[in-house]
Amino acid sequence: MQTQPSGQDGKKWDIRKIDAFVQQLATHRPSDHLRKKRRHRVTHLVVKALGFDAEDLPTLFDAPELGVTRWGTVRVDGKSMMTSLDGVFAAGDIVRGASLVVWAIRDGRDVTERMHAYLKAKARAARVAA
């Protein structure tokens, strides 16, 4: 699996192998079949999300000021769903820990409302300041 950025700007990740591996796990098809159906995708960020052991998230994200709980999940404000980093929101398993997908879906819907309100407030403040 490629672990270094590729591409001219050095910021894009080639995730063909990850995609093929995930597809193989999801469909239980043999590798030979996957070689014929490979898709090429380029992305700017890949978040590894396998396993249940807590990661050292502040170190992993190079953000020592990121607040975490004693269980290793990201600490967020209960009302705004914002982390200790201004403008950075979190929801789902990274906040709750391993849980039901329906909770992650609900959290995702809730956090988008909070992010929208945050961005509207910032835009309003910028208009008033101008």
CATH number for the domain running over 52-129: 3.50.50.60
- The reported pTM is 0.58
Six token digits for residue 59 = 């170190």
Please report, for the chain, the start and end positions of each structural domain, with discontinuous segments joined by +. 1-46, 52-129
Virtual torsion, Cα 56, 20, 43, 116, nearest 10 deg:
-70
When the pLDDT of each residue in the chain is averaged and rounded to a whole number, the result is 77
Q: Is residue 99 very low, low, confident or very high in pLDDT (cuts 50, 70, 90)?
A: confident
Could you give phi then psi for residue 22, rounded to 5 degrees?
-65, -40
Q: How far apart are CA 108 and CA 130, in angstroms?
A: 33
pLDDT in tens, 38-53: 555 566 666 655 556 7
